[in-house]
């Protein structure tokens, strides 16, 4: 990640209509803080088309999204499809209740309107990675295959052992990367983005073929409980839980392909599919987001 001081930049503040409806007070507070601290143009779109027009006319302004995960993903996805994402500075004031702002927790964006707006004005710009899929979609936090997150199921990524949480000795060698701060962020991302869902329960096993950089991790004859992927440090962190294996398979790769009978997956807490195959590619330094200074 690289950091730069974004202070002094003019802002394009895009206020999502859902945010205006569900929490008008937080939306107003965020707008007032931003307008008091910077030259801001306020955009009140009523739909995706108006968001697209506002972004096309943003000029050199830094775009600030006020809204939930979907509002941010809409802007990021649009800029990605226009191939403008890498050069478009962004900031975000999350508005909404969990799990609608789960991605904010993953990225480290404050959840309070005042704190988030101040971070927009006083924070540092960082370049972040993401996962781009073969349908021109993006994943900012993490994804699960299959989509469910049923109650009573163990998370796909095991929590840190107590010694690792306390900062004691961690494994060395080929898998030492898994215990780095970046890898712990990956596990946190996937845990936070996997809330329970009664509508999409996790099956006892799923027949999937999973490949990472062409290396076969699971095949249709070895049922899996879940596959989890997150973008960290320009790579895709992958965890595959085989149904009959005592320990998950963990690896990192640039591309991950999952295929099998029609399956759904949960990306950034949104259910996608059904699809029969999907490939995700890790893209380093793909987008720019203002975050609180360390």
- 74 assigned to some structural domain: yes
- 104 assigned to some structural domain: yes
- 237 assigned to some structural domain: yes
Quick one: pLDDT at residue 243?
82
- 160 assigned to some structural domain: yes
Instruction: For residues 170 and 122, state if they share a domain.
Output: no
Instruction: For residues 104 and 188, state if they share a domain.
Output: no
Residue among 209, 203, 246 at smallest CA distance from 225: 203
How far apart CA 109 and CA 92 sit, in angstroms, is 7
- Mean pLDDT score, 138-159: 64
**Residues paired with 103 in a beta bridge:** none
pLDDT band at residue 192 using 50, 70 and 90 as cut-offs: very low
DSSP string computed for 199-255: SSPPPS-B--EEEETTEEEE-TTS-EEEEEEEEETTEEEEEEEETT-SS-EEEEESE
Instruction: For residues 44 and 85, state if they share a domain.
Output: yes
Instruction: For residues 195 and 160, state if they share a domain.
Output: yes
The packing angle between helices 24-37 and 113-122, to 10°, is 20
We report the CATH number of the domain holding residue 84 as 3.40.50.10330
> 170-204: string of b/e by CB count within 10 Å (b at 16+)?
eeeeeeebbeeebbbbbbbbbbbbbeebeebbbee
**% of the chain surpassing 70 pLDDT:** 78
pLDDT band at residue 253 using 50, 70 and 90 as cut-offs: very high
- 190 assigned to some structural domain: yes
Quick one: pLDDT at residue 185?
54
CB 119 within 8 A of CB 7: no
Residue among 146, 246, 249, 241 at smallest CA distance from 202: 146
Instruction: For residues 119 and 158, state if they share a domain.
Output: no
Q: How far apart are the first and last CA of the chain?
A: 13
Give the best-scoring range by mean pLDDT among 196-205, 226-235, 280-289: 280-289
Instruction: For residues 184 and 219, state if they share a domain.
Output: yes
**Residues paired with 242 in a beta bridge:** 224
Tokens 């990675």 locate to 129
The packing angle between helices 69-81 and 48-56, to 10°, is 50
Quick one: pLDDT at residue 200?
43
Quick one: pLDDT at residue 233?
87
Instruction: For residues 78 and 182, state if they share a domain.
Output: no
Quick one: pLDDT at residue 189?
58
Quick one: pLDDT at residue 186?
54
**What is the biggest distance separating any 2 CA atoms in the chain, rounded to whole angstroms?**
60
Instruction: For residues 63 and 151, state if they share a domain.
Output: no
- Mean pLDDT score, 276-286: 98
Instruction: For residues 158 and 117, state if they share a domain.
Output: no
Which is more confidently placed, 89 or 164?
89
- 275 assigned to some structural domain: no
**Residues paired with 158 in a beta bridge:** none
Domain count across the chain: 2
Taking only the tens place, the pLDDT of each residue in 3-36 is 433 445 799 999 999 999 999 999 999 999 999 9
CB 224 within 8 A of CB 243: yes
Residue among 69, 91, 90, 207 at smallest CA distance from 140: 69
How far apart CA 238 and CA 114 sit, in angstroms, is 36
- 34 assigned to some structural domain: yes
Quote the mean pLDDT of the chain.
Answer: 84
Taking only the tens place, the pLDDT of each residue in 160-179 is 333 333 333 333 333 344 43
Quick one: pLDDT at residue 9?
74
Instruction: For residues 161 and 262, state if they share a domain.
Output: yes
Instruction: For residues 241 and 147, state if they share a domain.
Output: yes
Instruction: For residues 122 and 160, state if they share a domain.
Output: no
- 204 assigned to some structural domain: yes
Structural domain harbouring 194: 142-267
Global model pTM greater than 0.85 = no
């Amino acid at each position: 990640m690289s950091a730069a001081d974004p202070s002094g930049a003019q802002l394009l503040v895009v206020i999502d209509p859902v945010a205006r409806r569900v929490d008008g007070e937080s939306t107003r507070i965020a707008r007032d803080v931003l307008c008091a601290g910077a030259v801001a143009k306020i955009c009140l779109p009523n739909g995706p088309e108006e968001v697209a027009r506002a972004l096309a006319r943003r000029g050199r302004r830094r775009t600030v999204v006020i809204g939930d995960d979907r509002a941010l993903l809409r802007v990021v996805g649009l800029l990605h499809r226009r191939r403008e994402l890498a050069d478009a500075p962004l900031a975000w004031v999350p508005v909404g209740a969990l799990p609608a702002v789960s991605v904010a927790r993953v990225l480290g964006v404050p959840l309070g309107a005042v704190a988030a707006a101040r971070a927009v004005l006083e924070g540092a710009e960082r370049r972040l990675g993401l996962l781009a899929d073969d349908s021109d979609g993006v994943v900012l936090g993490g994804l699960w295959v299959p989509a469910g997150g049923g109650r009573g199921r163990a998370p796909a990524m095991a929590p840190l052992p107590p010694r690792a949480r306390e900062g004691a000795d961690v494994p060395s060698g080929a898998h030492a990367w898994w215990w780095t701060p970046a890898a712990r962020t990956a596990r946190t991302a996937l845990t936070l983005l996997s809330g329970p869902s009664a509508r999409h329960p996790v099956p006892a096993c799923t027949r999937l073929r999973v490949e990472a950089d062409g290396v076969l991790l699971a095949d249709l004859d070895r049922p899996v409980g879940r596959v989890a992927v997150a973008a960290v440090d320009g790579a895709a962190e992958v965890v595959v839980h085989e149904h009959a294996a005592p320990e998950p398979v963990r690896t990192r790769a640039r591309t991950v392909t999952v295929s099998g009978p029609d399956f759904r997956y949960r990306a950034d807490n949104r259910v996608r599919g059904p699809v029969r195959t999907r490939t995700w590619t890790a893209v380093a330094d793909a987008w720019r987001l203002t975050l609180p200074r360390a």
